[in-house]
A and B are shown apart, each in its own frame.
Chain A
Amino acid sequence: MRPLAPPLTLSENILGYLSFLNRALKANFAYKASTVLGLFTAALTYGITVLVWNHVYDQKGSSLNVTRQEMFAYLAMAFCLNYALTINIDQRVGQRIRLGLIATDLLKPLDFQMTQAFQALSDCIFNGFIALGIMAVAFSALGRQAFPKSPEAFGFFLASFFLAFIIQYSIVFFFIQGAFYTYSGYGIFASRIAVHHTLSGLQAPLTLYPPILRSIGAWLPFQHVVFTPITLYTGRAEGAQAWHLLGEQALWAAGFYLLGNLVMRKALKQLEIQGG
């Protein structure tokens, strides 16, 4: 089964995607209780990481490469960034594939991958506003450590955040394709989360990682979702180094977006939808 070629003009296409974004945002607002519980669970998970690090600092004092203040500012930033970039399209698409509803998505005169990107953007905008609220609390608690190093660093961070979103979305979309081949998408989604948690720098700056783990991470895109944006935000990479990091992010974003498209075309060729 193939998606129909979009017969719409460019402006109609854009309006279609924006309409999709608008509806997806409204859907996010409709599930307030789920949002609150999801946020609580995410905070609880992250609280464990914070408490473990807190104990390590109590035990080791100032002998670590990163000061306690820097570490907690990093962890607060990583939590907010990760929360803002939490995209739920894998669960949604996985369920639609299982129920056969994916057929109606493919019949729409809009590009499926781009439509899902706007759906993901709605998640990012919604979660991003919540993350900003948490950051505001972190600013008041952590003081200067939580602020960007300079206006230039903040500019680099914004560009990096945008690219991080595309990378994150493209990785999620790539993994979704596995749901076309399996009965339950759990394995596919869980494997992405496992690698993301380990190699994105979500639980600690990658500079504290054992060399082997850091080397593995350097060959994969996950560090560019959390660690790179924070590196730019805190001004640990400036000037040419910052541009270099943005270039790497752009390459990963473009590469994974195209890879996702290729894999989707192959997956759709073997898709069978039952029923009538």
Chain B
Amino acid sequence: MKNFDIYWATFKASLQAKLEYKLDFALGLLTSSMLQLAALGFLWVIFHQTSNLQGWTQAEVIFLFGLTAMSLGASELFFNHIWMVPYYIVMGDLDRLLVYPVRSLPFLLISRPELHSFGNLLTGLALTAGSLWTLHMPWQDWVLVPVWVLCGSVIYTSALVVFCSFSFKFVGPYGYTLMIPHTLLQASRYPLSIYPAWVHYGLLFLVPYGVFNYLPGNWVFGKMLFSAGAFLTPLVAVVCAAVAERVWNWGLKHYQSTGS
């Protein structure tokens, strides 16, 4: 409990510091929404040519877009600091973190919230709510959305942590490695059934992004395919978080300070 207080105080202090930059906050809000709308622009082009994607209508795909955007936003708000680790390893700046009397991974993750996360959260919320409202979905679906978003942010962050941990072993300007799980997240905005089997199952079992948007989508819209899997999302999130922390600890064993 005492540890939780430390994490919460750190998160609050970091967020307050970031909120001091009001222009950055406004721009971050605007631009992250623009990035989501840009992706939506492509979806609009696609649905200008076809009425559905493997049986998924535009409103249903927008639900997937919304869940993905909110999961991304939640990760950027609560666990964003992971993006700086490859840089810290090169500069030897991780020493400070390692002498704190806390668990290094959770403390690192929460200590640098990103302001543009609010743009992704709000845009995602608008898309998800718009989709559920348009399709007249029952209240149970609305209630489960926060659970899927929270689990989604944990699963996505876990993938980032796993990819990032390789930076301990292979030191260098490899910040791009984090772009791989980030790019795969973009793929999960579409129904996985439109992809070839290796991508489809890769995004369900290997990097399980489909568990927090595609499976819930199947359940919400009654598509039957693995729909019961929507209730496995919390379990998958816990497993992913455990794997991520193990890989992180393995990586830390290879960390060498710069000595300066």
Contact = CB atoms under 8 A, between A and B. Distances in A.
A208 B45 contact: yes
Interface stretch (A30-38, A79-87, A224-232): A30-38
A213 B180 contact: no
A186 B179 contact: no
Contacts of A34: 173-176
Interface residues on A, range: 35 or more
B46 interface: yes
Given A55-B53, A190-B34, A191-B34, A182 B194 contact: no
A182 B24 contact: yes
A186 B28 contact: yes
Contacts of B49: 56, 60, 64, 208
Contacts of A194: 31, 34-35, 37-38
Contacts of A133: none
Interface stretch (A12-20, A43-51, A268-276): A43-51
B173 A213 contact: no
A48 B176 contact: no
Interface residues on B, range: 35 or more
Nearest to A211: B48
Main secondary structure of the interface of A (DSSP, over half): helix
B53 A41 contact: no
B199 A51 contact: yes
Interface in B175-199: 175-177, 179-180, 183-184, 186-187, 190, 194-196, 199
Contacts of B32: 187, 190
A208 B47 CA distance: 10
B172 interface: yes
Interface stretch (A112-120, A165-173, A196-204, A239-247): A196-204
Contact of B48 (A41, A51, A209): A209
Contacts of A56: 46, 49-50, 53
Given A48-B186, A194-B35, A187 B27 contact: yes
Contacts of A162: none
Contacts of A40: 176, 180
Main secondary structure of the interface of B (DSSP, over half): helix
A90 to B, nearest CB: 13
A127 to B, nearest CB: 14
Interface string A122-158: 0000000000000000000000000000000000000
A55 B46 CA distance: 10
Nearest to B182: A41
A274 to B, nearest CB: 16
Nearest to B176: A37
B30 interface: yes
B146 to A, nearest CB: 26
B116 interface: yes
A263 interface: no
A197 B42 CA distance: 9
Contact of A37 (B27, B37, B45, B177): B177
Interface string B5-42: 00000000000000001011001101110110111011
A55 B116 contact: no
A55 B41 contact: no
11 contacts: A33-B173, A52-B46, A52-B53, A55-B54, A56-B53, A59-B53, A59-B54, A187-B24, A193-B35, A194-B34, A213-B45
Given A55-B54, A182-B24, 11 more contacts: A34-B173, A37-B179, A38-B179, A41-B180, A45-B186, A48-B183, A52-B190, A186-B31, A187-B28, A195-B38, A203-B45
Interface of A: 31, 33-34, 37-38, 40-41, 44-45, 48-49, 51-53, 55-56, 59-60, 64, 178, 181-184, 186-188, 190-191, 193-195, 197-199, 203-204, 208-210, 213
Closest 3 CB pairs of A and B: A187-B27, A37-B176, A194-B38
